[in-house]
Amino acid sequence: MKFLDRAKIYIESGAGGNGCLSFRREKFIEHGGPNGGDGGRGGHVFAEAVENLNTLIDFRYQQHYTAKNGRPGEGSNRTGADGDDIIVKVPVGTQIFEEDEETLIADLDTPGERVLLAKGGNGGFGNAHFKSSTNRAPRRANPGQAGELRTIWLRLKLIADFGLIGLPNAGKSTFLAAVSAAKPKIADYPFTTLHPGLGVVRLAEGESFVLADIPGLIEGAHEGAGLGDRFLGHVERCAALVHLVDGSQEDVAGAYRTVREELDAYGEGLEDKREIVCLNKIDTLTDEEREKKLKALSRAAGAPARAISGVTGAGITPLLRDLMRIKTNQPADALPEPEEESDADQDAPWTP
C-alpha cells in the first residue's frame, strides 16, 4: 500500500427539497384548503476519524463526495424525505484545511471524533405553511435551499509516541525493524526511506508504544532540498524525539547540528521537544573511536549521548525502558544516566 499523507477532495451537501403547492379537492369536503407539504432537508457531509486507516491513499481514487438531495414535499401535508448523509472516513490524526491550506477546520486526533464539513440545505415550505385566517388559499411555496460546495485539504499527521529522526543512512529503519515487527526496506547500500513508517514496540504485558520512522533530513531540507521537511509533521505529536547519528561517519557533531538546524527552521514546537541523542552503529567502531565520538556528540548535544547498535542490539534495552518511562509520565530525574554495557550485553541481540 502506498503512503499518502496529503489529499485534496471536493465535497457537496445535498440541496433541500422544494415545498409543494397543493389544495384539498375531496368531493365531500366543503371549501377544501391548502395541503402542500414541506420539502426534506438535504444530506450533510461529515468527516470521522477511524482507527483502521493509516494513510490517505483512498482519496487518490475518489475525490468527489456528494450527499443526496432532499425529496420535495407532496400533497396531503406529506413532508419530503431527508437526503442521506455522507461520512468521509479518515485516519486518526488527520487535519482538515480550507482550500488555502492554511485555515484549519478540524483536527481529528481521537477515534470516533466527527465534524460537520458541509450542511445540507433546508427544505422549502409548502403552501400549507402560509395559511392564515386572512390568507386561506395561499398560492406560494418555497424552493429548497442549495447545498454547500467546498474544496478542502486533508493532511495526515501520524499518531506516534516517539519519532526517529536523523540524516539519511543513520540506521533508523534498521533500528525500527530491530525493536518492532515493522519491516521497512533495509539494504547494504546507501539510500533514504521515502515515506514514514510505524512500528509498535512491546516490552512486556501491557507495556508498548508506537515508534515513527521519518525519512532522513539533509542540509537545506526546509528549503526543499531532498524530500524536504514535509514529513516532520508526523512527529509533531510525539512525546519525544530519538535522534540517531551514524557513528561510522567522521563528523558526528556536524551531523547532529545539521538535523537540529532543520528542526529549528521547521518550528512548530519541534525545536523545544524532548530529545534523546544516540550514537548508532557502534558495532563498526573500535573502543577508542566509540569513546571519542561519543564525547564529541555529547558536547554538541549538551547532554550525555547514548551508544547503541541496531544490528547487535547493544544499548537498545535501557533506551526502550527509558522511552516507556517517558510515555508513562515519570519525572525526568527518574530516568537513569546511560550505563556502559559489558561485552556480553553488547553481543546479545535485543528481542521484543
Alpha-carbon gap, residue 144 to 168, rounded angstroms: 58
Dihedral angle sign, alpha carbons of residues 93, 205, 182, 188: positive
CATH of region 162-346? 3.40.50.300
Q: Where are the domains of the chain?
A: 6-24+32-156, 162-346
Given the DSSP bridges, would you call strands 86-91 and 6-12 parallel, antiparallel or unpaired? unpaired
The whole-number pLDDT of residue 187 equals 45
pLDDT at 216: 62
pLDDT tens digits for range 282-321 = 888 888 888 998 899 889 888 888 888 888 888 888 888 8
Cβ–Cβ < 8 Å for 136, 33: yes
What's the CA gap between 229 and 299, in Å, rounded? 26
pLDDT tens per residue across span 118-161: 999 999 999 999 998 888 889 999 999 999 999 999 988 877 78
Check residue 195 and report its DSSP letter. Answer: S
| Total-model pTM | 0.68
The winner for highest mean pLDDT among 50-54, 215-219, 328-332 is 50-54
Which pLDDT belongs to residue 145? 93
C-alpha cell at 252: 558526528
Cell numbers at 33, concatenated: 384548503
Sheet strands (E) in the chain: 6-12, 23-24, 33-34, 45-50, 64-66, 86-91, 94-97, 104-108, 114-118, 149-156, 162-165, 197-204, 207-213, 240-246, 275-280, 306-307
Task: Please report, rounded to a whole number, the percentage of residues in the chain having pLDDT higher than 90.
Answer: 28
- Tallying the residues shown for the chain, one arrives at 352
Most confident range (mean pLDDT) of 27-41, 68-82, 165-179 is: 68-82
pLDDT of residue 230: 54
Whether the CB-CB separation of 137 and 105 falls below 8 Å is answered with: no
Reference 239, options 279, 198, 209; nearest CA is 209
**CATH code, 6-24+32-156:** 2.70.210.12
Closest CA to 316 of 287, 339, 286, 290: 339
Residue with cell 547532554: 303
Q: pLDDT band at residue 2, thresholds of 50, 70 and 90?
A: low
